[in-house]
Amino acid sequence: MGLSFASFLFSSKDVSGRWSCVVFLKGCNFRCRHCHNWRLVVGDEGEIEEEKILYEISENPFVDTLVLSGGEPTVYRAEELRVFIEKVKEANPSVCVRIDTNGYRPEVVGALKDVVDGFAVDLKAPPSRPELYSYTAGVEVDVDRIIESVRLADGMPLTLFRTPRYTWLSEQDIEDIGNFTARLKSPWTLNEFVEVPSCPFNV
Ligand code: SF4
């Protein structure tokens, strides 16, 4: 299939204390309500060449981190992602790498652990409430797959777990996610939820 890059940007906010090149890949296996990047998910975005990203990373002396985002990077084959990451490290050997993921392909998370420095894994609902997880993700979710990704990613230097404070999560749900993550080594952040009325997945 090959990696399909929509865009990239430079950011000092995505990874605390670091300058990141955030690369957005097309496609996703979820259809979350109020997805901010739904145009990437449905492939309704432009395309940029891999060479352009590699050139910018090698030429920008401030960049110390590559963030693979989307969309959902793990919908691609682990081997394709690995080859790209290795090219980035060749272009700029001091770069650390984080993959942002919904955690639904633990096989890819596990296969890339040795070439990345961590993962930002979404926790969209309490793992104890699969029906709520599926409602949020817009597809039938097997939460064990996400739990496995959490287990694989936990404790890596750049790993964190993230939850948007969706309006349909109760205080008890938030508390349950907090209790789940309290047992983990990596930090959990509860983020502001911003509605996206134009998202076609809000059904
Ligand atoms: S996991 Fe959900 S929020 Fe993230 S890109 Fe996919 S559809 Fe959007």
DSSP string, the chain: ----EEEEEEESSSSTTS-EEEEEE---S---TT-TTHHHHTT-S----HHHHHHHHHH-TT--EEEEESS-GGGS-HHHHHHHHHHHHHH-TT-EEEEEE-S--HHHHHHHTTT-SEEEEE--S-TT-HHHHHHHHTS---HHHHHHHHHHHTT-TT-EEEEE--TTS-HHHHHHHHHHHHTSSS-EEEE-----TT-TT--
Pick 5-191's CATH classification: 3.20.20.70, 3.60.20.10, 3.40.50.2300, 1.20.950.20.
3.20.20.70
| pLDDT at position 203 | 85
Pocket around ligand 1: residues whose beta carbon is below 6 Å from it? 28, 30-32, 35, 37, 41, 70-72, 102
Round to whole Å and give the CA distance between 39 and 43: 6
CA of 15 to the centre of ligand 1 (A): 19
Amino acid (one-letter) located at 78 = A
CA of 180 to the centre of ligand 1 (A): 22
| pLDDT at position 46 | 83
CA of 13 to the centre of ligand 1 (A): 19
31 and 139 in contact (C-beta within 8 Å)? Answer: yes
CA of 3 to the centre of ligand 1 (A): 17
Say whether pLDDT at 21 is over 80.
yes
| pLDDT at position 125 | 98
Pocket test of ligand 1: the residue of 36, 44, 72, 141 to mutate, having most ligand atoms within 8 Å of its CB, is 72
Tell me: cis bond preceding 71? Omega within 30 of 0 counts. yes
23 and 73 in contact (C-beta within 8 Å)? Answer: no
19 and 95 in contact (C-beta within 8 Å)? Answer: no
| pLDDT at position 189 | 97
Which atom of ligand 1 is nearest to 29's Cα? 6
Calculate ∠ Cα 128-140-162, nearest 5°: 55
Nearest-CA residue for atom 3 of ligand 1: 35
Mean pLDDT of 143-165: 98
CA of 70 to the centre of ligand 1 (A): 8
pLDDT interval class at 63 (50, 70, 90): very high
Query: How far does Cα 15 stand from its chain's mean position?
Result: 12
Segment 68-98, tens digit of pLDDT: 999 999 999 999 999 999 999 999 999 999 9
CA of 93 to the centre of ligand 1 (A): 30
Could you tell me the pTM of the whole model?
A: 0.96
82 and 34 in contact (C-beta within 8 Å)? Answer: no
Nearest-CA residue for atom 2 of ligand 1: 32
Say whether pLDDT at 43 is over 90.
no
21 and 63 in contact (C-beta within 8 Å)? Answer: yes
Tell me the average pLDDT of the chain: 96
CA atoms within 13 A on the CB side of 167: 5
| pLDDT at position 68 | 98
Over the range 29-56, which residues count as b (16 or more CB within 10 Å of their CB) and which as e?
ebbbbbbebbbbbbeebeebeeeebbeb
* Domain extents in the chain: 5-191
Say whether pLDDT at 1 is over 80.
no
